[in-house]
């Protein structure tokens, strides 16, 4: 196990938290404008990077 894995787990949870807040800000219909869609896309891309690190560090 590594500090890298720990950092990535936290970072992934923080990125998901950003998505959670977007859900709150757009409730109840969750219609995302272009700006928010772009933000979600960027967040998901970063999240996928963090998941890759977690997989590499913790699964091999």
According to the binding rule CB under 8 A, does residue 59 interact with other proteins? no
DSSP character at residue 12: H
Contact region with other proteins (CB under 8 A), list: 21-29, 41-49, 50-58: 21-29
Q: Phi first, then psi: what are they for 12, rounded to 5°?
A: -65, -40
Q: Contact between 49 and other proteins (CB under 8 A)?
A: no
CA-based nearest residue to 15, from 53, 47, 48: 47
Does 20 interact with other proteins (rule: CB under 8 A)? Answer: yes
Of 17-25, 41-49, 52-60, which segment contacts other proteins by CB under 8 A?
Answer: 17-25
């Amino acid at each position: 196990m590594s500090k890298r894995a720990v950092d990535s787990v936290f970072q992934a949870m923080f990125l998901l938290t950003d998505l959670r807040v977007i859900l709150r800000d757009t409730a109840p219909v969750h219609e995302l404008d272009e700006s928010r869609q772009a933000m979600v896309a960027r967040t998901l891309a970063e999240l996928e990077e963090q998941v890759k690190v977690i997989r590499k560090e913790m699964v091999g």
